[in-house]
Structure 1
Amino acid sequence: MTFHVGQVLEGVVTGIQPYGAFVQLDEKHQGLIHISECRSAFIHEIGDEIKVGEPIRVMILDIDLYSHKISLSRRTVLDGYDKAPLDIENVKQEHKYIQHHYWTNQHLEIGFDTISKSGQSMINEALERLHQ
């Protein structure tokens, strides 16, 4: 199943922490409802609001492109924002040309083979710098 921002779906609460609740969306994906996204009013204990095992309707707020973590909101569904029209094509267009810079170079295929093949050139380069 592919997910997108603004999508409303039903899941099952699988865990509760002081900062939020984990929701199983399908057999492979789960997301987190931060405590601030449970409802519009202040919540002292999230366990008083949401129980493990209960079905829950949520809206997808964000999908992190690097970690693939899904941020969810129950508040938007309770407040009726899920009924407001959302132009998904415009949302996709807005994010189409954004460059994401990660702290790692995940796009490179670096492994032990690459190091072993280029090891001698790396040693030679280091020796040249040392003798300068």
Structure 2
Amino acid sequence: MTLAAGNILEGTVVNITNFGAFVEVDGKTGLVHISEVADSFVKDIRQHLNEQDKVKVKVISIDDNGKISLSIKQANVQKKSVKPVEFDWGTDRSTNKVGSVNFEDKISKFLKDSEEKMQDVKKHQEFKGKNSKNRS
């Protein structure tokens, strides 16, 4: 397969630096930036790669100067099959229950609790404000 943007190829890690790994692909060397090594945050690239490792890489780009940008994480992305959610449109939503309490009851309880907490916060702020004035 030729070296072109979008192609997925196998290469060999030839050098590792703090900012990425140089991978040889089709006789040319490209850079896998540290942000393109894994899906999770990579602090130390040496925990993920070693020199002479065989890796599958995706060619991200080749600039005018011949610099090749590669990605290991994009090469390993597998398409997930998205299964549609089954929903029964025939049910009346107003009678749908979440657990043993319906939605309206949960909202009412939430609003009541929120109002009580806000009153407590306001009382605390007023109390703090009065005490700071008395000290002056």
Aligned mates of 1:21, 1:55 — CA distance in 2: 12
Residue of structure 1 equivalent to 2:17: 17
Shift of residue 40, structure 1, vs aligned partner: 1.0
1:80 to 72, 78, 81: 78
Shift of residue 49, structure 1, vs aligned partner: 0.4
Q: Confirm or deny: 8 A CA contact 1:39 1:78 kept in the other structure.
A: no
Q: Confirm or deny: 8 A CA contact 2:3 2:26 kept in the other structure.
A: no
> Which consecutive residues of structure 2, in runs of 5 or more, have no partner in the other structure?
80-136
Residue of structure 2 equivalent to 1:58: 57
CA RMSD of aligned residues (A): 1.4
| TM-score normalised by length of structure 2 | 0.55
Aligned mates of 1:74, 1:46 — CA distance in 2: 12
Shift of residue 78, structure 1, vs aligned partner: 2.1
Residue of structure 1 equivalent to 2:41: 42
SS in 2 for 1:12: strand
Post-superposition Cα deviations, 1:29-67, rounded to whole Å, max 9, x if no partner, equal 1100000000110011001001100100000001002x1
Aligned mates of 1:32, 1:11 — CA distance in 2: 11
Larger RCO (alpha carbons 8 Å, 6+ apart): 1
Aligned mates of 1:11, 1:20 — CA distance in 2: 15
After superposing on structure 2, the runs of 4+ consecutive aligned residues of structure 1 that deviate more than 3 Å are none
Aligned mates of 2:36, 2:13 — CA distance in 1: 14
Number of positions where the alignment pairs a residue of Structure 1 with one of Structure 2: 79
Q: Confirm or deny: 8 A CA contact 2:12 2:54 kept in the other structure.
A: yes
| TM-score normalised by length of structure 1 | 0.57
Q: Percent identity?
A: 37
